[in-house]
Amino acid sequence: MNGNFSYCNPTRLYFGPDSMQNLRGELEKYGPNVLLCYGGGSIKKNGIYDQVIEILRAAGKQVTEDGGVMPNPTVEKLYEGCRLARECKADLILAVGGGSVCDYAKAVSVSVHCEDDPWEKYYLRMEDVSCEIVPVGCVLTMVGTGSEMNGGAVITNHQQKRKIGHVFGENVFPKFAILNPTFTFTLPKYQMVAGFYDILNHITEQYFSGQDDNTTDYISEGLMRSLIHSSRIAVQDPTNYEARSNIMWTATWALNTLLAQGKSTDWMVHMIGQAVGAFTDATHGMTLAAVSLPYYRHICPCGLEKFRRFAVNVWQVNPDGKTDEQVAAEGLQCMENWMREIGLVMNLRELGVTEDMLEGIADATFIMEGGYKVLSREEVVQILQESL
pLDDT in the model for residue 41: 84
CB 361 within 8 A of CB 279: yes
pLDDT in the model for residue 213: 87
Q: Does residue 7 form part of some domain?
A: no
The DSSP annotation for 156-200 comes to: EETTTTEEEEEE--GGGS-SEEEE-GGGGTTS-HHHHHHHHHHHH
Domain tally, the chain? 2
pLDDT in the model for residue 123: 97
pLDDT in the model for residue 335: 98
Is the same domain home to 244 and 342?
A: yes
Q: Does residue 206 form part of some domain?
A: yes
Q: Does residue 1 form part of some domain?
A: no
Distance from C-alpha of 380 to C-alpha of 272, rounded to nearest angstrom: 8
**Regarding beta strands 162-167 and 33-38, do their DSSP bridges make them parallel or antiparallel, or are they unpaired?**
unpaired
Helix locations, the chain, DSSP H: 23-27, 42-45, 48-58, 75-88, 99-111, 118, 189-207, 215-236, 241-254, 268-280, 284-299, 304-315, 324-342, 358-363, 377-387
Is the same domain home to 37 and 135?
A: yes
Is the same domain home to 272 and 366?
A: yes
Mean pLDDT, 10 residues at a time, the chain of 388 residues:
85 98 98 97 93 97 97 96 98 97 98 96 96 98 95 95 94 98 95 97 97 92 98 98 98 96 95 96 97 98 98 98 98 98 98 97 96 97 97
Rounded to 5 degrees, what are φ and ψ at 12?
Answer: -90, 125
Is the same domain home to 327 and 260?
A: yes
Angstrom distances, CA of residue 34 to CA of 37, 82, 84, 105, 247: 9, 13, 10, 12, 30
pLDDT in the model for residue 3: 73
Distance from C-alpha of 120 to C-alpha of 122, rounded to nearest angstrom: 6
Is the same domain home to 204 and 169?
A: no
The conformation of residue 355, written as its DSSP 8-state character, comes to G
The DSSP annotation for 212-270 comes to: S--HHHHHHHHHHHHHHHHHHHHHH-TT-HHHHHHHHHHHHHHTSSSTTTT-----HHH
Closest CA to 287 of 376, 188, 361: 361
Q: What is the CATH number of the domain that holds 351?
A: 1.20.1090.10
Is the same domain home to 103 and 196?
A: no
Q: Does residue 3 form part of some domain?
A: no
Residue after which a domain boundary falls, among 183, 200, 218: 183
Parent domain of 307: 189-387
pTM, whole model, 2 decimals? Answer: 0.96
Other beta carbons within 10 Å of 321: 6
Residue after which a domain boundary falls, among 183, 209, 226: 183
Q: Is the dihedral of CA 288, 291, 294, 295 positive or negative?
A: negative
Residue after which a domain boundary falls, among 130, 148, 183: 183
Q: Does residue 4 form part of some domain?
A: no
Is the same domain home to 369 and 345?
A: yes
CB 388 within 8 A of CB 353: yes
Rg of the chain on CA atoms, in Å? 20
Give the three-class secondary structure for 71.
coil
pLDDT in the model for residue 257: 94
Is the same domain home to 56 and 151?
A: yes
Is the same domain home to 174 and 222?
A: no
Q: Does residue 347 form part of some domain?
A: yes
Q: Does residue 214 form part of some domain?
A: yes
Distance from C-alpha of 289 to C-alpha of 343, rounded to nearest angstrom: 10
Is the same domain home to 169 and 207?
A: no
Is the same domain home to 224 and 351?
A: yes
Q: What is the CATH number of the domain that holds 83?
A: 3.40.50.1970
Q: Does residue 43 form part of some domain?
A: yes
Is the same domain home to 286 and 336?
A: yes
